[in-house]
Structure 1
Amino acid sequence: MATAMTAAYLFFLLVYIIDIFSSYPANVSSSMTTPIKPWKMALKLIHHDSIHSPYYNPNATISELAERAINGSLARIQYMSKIISTPNDEDARSRLVPAIKAYGFFANISIGTPPVPQLLMIDTASNLLWFQCLPCTTCFKQSLPLFDPAKSSTYSNIRCGSPACKNSRCSCDPKNEYCTFKKSYLDGTSTAGNLASEQATFETSDEGTVKVPIEVLGCSHVSTLPVDGQESGILGLSYGAGNLPTLVKQLGSKFSYCIGNIYDPQYQYNQLILGDGAMLEGDSTTLQTDKGFYFLDLEGISVGEKKLPIDPSTFKRRALGEGGVIIDSGATFTFLKEEGYVPLRNEVESLMAGILNRAASLPKYFTFFQLTTNVLCMTILSVTPAMKGVSTIGVLAQQSYNVGYDIKQGKIFFQRIDCSVLESIV
């Protein structure tokens, strides 16, 4: 009988090794000896099922956790498929945001003066930082008090006709005075409100705080979202197209995150660093942005020391935008194009012959994660037809890595490391 922890380790024994990932022990001390360090805006990342999460359920069964991961990943892929299939129209795409029921990471930041805590969902495919505000015509329940702009001395609505409003491609209120936004979800629900500038307070690597003016964020007054009462909104980490004033651009076009063992509810070292102090260490490969997603180069797949017979062009992007590989913070599982998935599935089944029996009742693209006490499935699936050949690397495949994004330089870095060690040196 396999346990959830066994499933996590088994995943890493079987999952592919990408050329861009480093297999040697991490050594970052040499890069930490410079006399002047850039300050770091460091946020604790809280996984949905962690004891540090307001959603933590100590009575959740293996099957319930697995079902939630499946549903969240499939909802995420549905969203990504919608974006990928949408014509190259930034205005149309800007109205689509991920299903709020996706189960990823949260972070606490404080907004305004005096600072008011907010619990936000992290999303590398959303381009706006938004949260609920008073007055609230329709709001979902949240665990923290609603933000009141009238009580913040640094809050200011963005006016129509301003560069920030024009670059955001948003609308104006009926009096044509202030810039407004609306984000629509796939299930027909939405959130809408004012675009504003405001001050955010972040923790720094030396346990202090730093106050950062945010040029554009969303203050939502109407939210008809199916949220069950915890988070306040979304912290979008997408780069965005053109002059869109996304948070990542405002903070220097660099960020990094380190993800440890999400199967361990006690794990507390997941973290996100924004700005010039982001950890950009380890092996790197090309990073491209398109349609709000981050694309990287995947050259091949190996199981152990065996490189699988996969055509090198399998994961390349096509001239019309089809294909390629997205790295994603919102999906638990990894989704591979059929030509890459089938050789991997076959190799794993060959290695597991006589150890595990294939369950014919499961869909063919499920192979290893712990579904029940006696059923183990692989956390890699085959892409759906709607994905147009686009593969995605999910959170499970990013465990035990620090992933650094340098968007202006067009590079993404992977450093295999224990996040607890990384926390002590940043």
Structure 2
Amino acid sequence: MRSDWDYLMEIYIGTPPVKQLAIADTGNEITWTQCQPCLNCYRQNQPIFNPMESSSYKVLSCSSSECQNKRQDLISINCDPRNSNSKCDYGITYDDGSTTNGVLGYEMYKLGHGYILKMAYGCAYDNRGNYHDTSAGIVGLGNGDLSFVGQIRKLIGGKFSYCLVHWSKLNEKSQINFGANAIMSGRGVVSTRLVRKSPRAWYHVTLEAVSIGNTRIPFNNNVIEAGNIVMDSGTMPTRLPMDMYQKLENAIRSVIRARPVQDPSGEMSLCYKKVDNFRIPTIIYHFAGGADVVSETDNTIIPLEGILCLAILPSINNLAIYGSLSQMNQLIGYDLEKNKVYFKPTIC
């Protein structure tokens, strides 16, 4: 299910189960939802989870293996060094400056028809920044040990896939599969290698170039480092290195015979007045291993107030991101045993 520019995943937590809609995020290391009592919670339009009403909830102590896991890259663990039995507090700061703070605990999760009896997750009581009222938190689908995927990795054989519906289909459900149902094969499937590097919880792949028409733009002046871009379903725009982005923007400007307009919010760099049947040439992302992924107008242009804007932006802090809009209407599969990501054009 899509909300604003986020894709929400329906989960049930606790005993008795409480329905929660949270952002499906391949760039996040843990799953967390807002919890009562809140020190500082953003407004959400669904009930805030109360762990004290769940018989399966258990706070994790500082001596727990989850709290002492040294492989965490994106989470800050805070413990009282004088008391190993104190609760395991965590904190996360995201690239946009948003933060979440809470306590790690065990809880029962229900997803579809299956139950996970003991899922380590974040009970968040202090959350500040750019959160929307449609979401109760984040489902961490990243590659970390404490992510949703990491904790059920053996159960699903390291395989999951999703297909994100078109941004305009607010009430239609996207599909996510785990295990055998996530295996991808057949005509049209291409793949690229997952690169293990820091932060380990992210899915790093290698982008060699992008093409628009007959113009091929290499990654960062042909300085192509393995694992130079991150697959992130929790971020809408795709972000490219400044030099690469500027060349792409110039190429788009040269083929669109219209005058650009300013985005009133100042967030988007290239916008045009909204007209019917507005199109831009196909953009192709060339990933390592011969995985050429086609991006049509709907994958690259978003409608704002009376204007249409390019949903590709320069990277922040040198972090290149392959965002959710570019992933839309692609069946995307992850095989963590083979260290591969698969793509297949699909009307989701």
TM-score w.r.t. the length of structure 1 is 0.61
Task: Quickly say closer, same or farther: Cα 1:271–1:130, change in 2 above 3 A.
Answer: same
Task: Quickly say closer, same or farther: Cα 1:140–1:258, change in 2 above 3 A.
Answer: same
* Deviation readout 1:201-249 (Å, 9 max, x if unpaired): 111xxxxx11113441112344455656443222112213xxx432221
Matches of 1:262 and 1:315, distance apart in 2: 33
Task: Report the counterpart of residue 121 of structure 2 in structure 1.
Answer: 217
Task: Report the counterpart of residue 417 of structure 1 in structure 2.
Answer: 346
Task: Quickly say closer, same or farther: Cα 1:299–1:418, change in 2 above 3 A.
Answer: same
Whether the 8 Å contact between 1:336 and 1:380 is mirrored in structure 2 is yes
Deviation at 1:394, TM superposition (A): 1.7
Is the aligned partner of 1:335 residue 2:233? no
1:408 to 318, 328, 337: 337
Whether the 8 Å contact between 1:293 and 1:326 is mirrored in structure 2 is yes
CA RMSD of aligned residues (A): 3.2
Secondary structure of 1:127's aligned partner: coil
Is the aligned partner of 1:283 residue 2:190? yes
1:156 to 55, 58, 77: 58
Whether the 8 Å contact between 2:3 and 2:170 is mirrored in structure 1 is no
Secondary structure of 1:280's aligned partner: coil
Matches of 1:146 and 1:301, distance apart in 2: 43
2:26 to 116, 119, 124: 124
One-letter code aligned to 2:190: D
Whether the 8 Å contact between 1:178 and 1:194 is mirrored in structure 2 is no
More displaced, 280-289 or 223-232? Answer: 223-232
Give runs of aligned pairs for residues 14-33 of structure 1, distance below 5 A: none
Deviation at 1:285, TM superposition (A): 0.4
1:308 to 201, 211, 216: 216
More displaced, 126-135 or 178-187? Answer: 178-187
Whether the 8 Å contact between 2:12 and 2:111 is mirrored in structure 1 is yes
* Deviation readout 1:314-337 (Å, 9 max, x if unpaired): 36227xxxx812222233222222
Task: Quickly say closer, same or farther: Cα 1:171–1:406, change in 2 above 3 A.
Answer: same
Task: Report the counterpart of residue 45 of structure 2 in structure 1.
Answer: 143
Matches of 1:406 and 1:294, distance apart in 2: 11
Whether the 8 Å contact between 1:336 and 1:381 is mirrored in structure 2 is yes
Is the aligned partner of 1:48 residue 2:3? yes
Secondary structure of 1:165's aligned partner: coil
More displaced, 407-416 or 140-149? Answer: 140-149
Matches of 1:361 and 1:231, distance apart in 2: 26
Deviation at 1:264, TM superposition (A): 3.9
Matches of 2:116 and 2:184, distance apart in 1: 22
Task: Quickly say closer, same or farther: Cα 1:166–1:279, change in 2 above 3 A.
Answer: same
Whether the 8 Å contact between 1:214 and 1:247 is mirrored in structure 2 is no
One-letter code aligned to 1:246: S
More displaced, 186-195 or 162-171? Answer: 186-195
Whether the 8 Å contact between 2:59 and 2:87 is mirrored in structure 1 is yes
Give the gaps of 5 or more residues in structure 1: 1-45, 50-102, 204-208, 420-426
**Structure with the largest fraction of helix:** 1
Matches of 1:117 and 1:124, distance apart in 2: 21
Task: Report the counterpart of residue 166 of structure 1 in structure 2.
Answer: 68
**Aligned residues: percent identity?**
29
Task: Quickly say closer, same or farther: Cα 1:227–1:391, change in 2 above 3 A.
Answer: closer
Is the aligned partner of 1:234 residue 2:138? yes
Matches of 1:303 and 1:188, distance apart in 2: 33
Task: Report the counterpart of residue 396 of structure 1 in structure 2.
Answer: 325
Deviation at 1:109, TM superposition (A): 0.5
Whether the 8 Å contact between 2:203 and 2:230 is mirrored in structure 1 is yes
Matches of 1:227 and 1:392, distance apart in 2: 20
Deviation at 1:110, TM superposition (A): 0.3
Whether the 8 Å contact between 1:132 and 1:219 is mirrored in structure 2 is yes
Task: Report the counterpart of residue 255 of structure 2 in structure 1.
Answer: 351
Matches of 2:128 and 2:309, distance apart in 1: 35
One-letter code aligned to 2:311: T
Deviation at 1:407, TM superposition (A): 2.4
Deviation at 1:197, TM superposition (A): 1.6
Task: Quickly say closer, same or farther: Cα 1:269–1:228, change in 2 above 3 A.
Answer: closer
One-letter code aligned to 1:327: M
Secondary structure of 1:248's aligned partner: helix
Whether the 8 Å contact between 1:314 and 1:340 is mirrored in structure 2 is no
Whether the 8 Å contact between 1:182 and 1:190 is mirrored in structure 2 is no
Task: Quickly say closer, same or farther: Cα 1:254–1:338, change in 2 above 3 A.
Answer: same
Whether the 8 Å contact between 1:124 and 1:237 is mirrored in structure 2 is yes
Is the aligned partner of 1:378 residue 2:314? no
One-letter code aligned to 2:124: S
Matches of 1:259 and 1:315, distance apart in 2: 31
Matches of 1:349 and 1:302, distance apart in 2: 14
**Structure with the largest fraction of strand:** 2
- More RCO (CA 8 Å, sep 6+): 1
Give the gaps of 5 or more residues in structure 2: 273-300
Matches of 2:234 and 2:19, distance apart in 1: 23
Whether the 8 Å contact between 1:165 and 1:179 is mirrored in structure 2 is no
Secondary structure of 2:52's aligned partner: helix
Matches of 1:315 and 1:361, distance apart in 2: 32
One-letter code aligned to 1:356: A
One-letter code aligned to 2:111: F
Whether the 8 Å contact between 2:109 and 2:119 is mirrored in structure 1 is no
Whether the 8 Å contact between 1:158 and 1:195 is mirrored in structure 2 is yes
User: How many pairs are equivalent?
Assistant: 301
Matches of 2:39 and 2:31, distance apart in 1: 20
Deviation at 1:134, TM superposition (A): 3.4
Matches of 1:141 and 1:235, distance apart in 2: 18
Whether the 8 Å contact between 1:310 and 1:343 is mirrored in structure 2 is no
Task: Report the counterpart of residue 110 of structure 1 in structure 2.
Answer: 12
More displaced, 285-294 or 115-124? Answer: 285-294
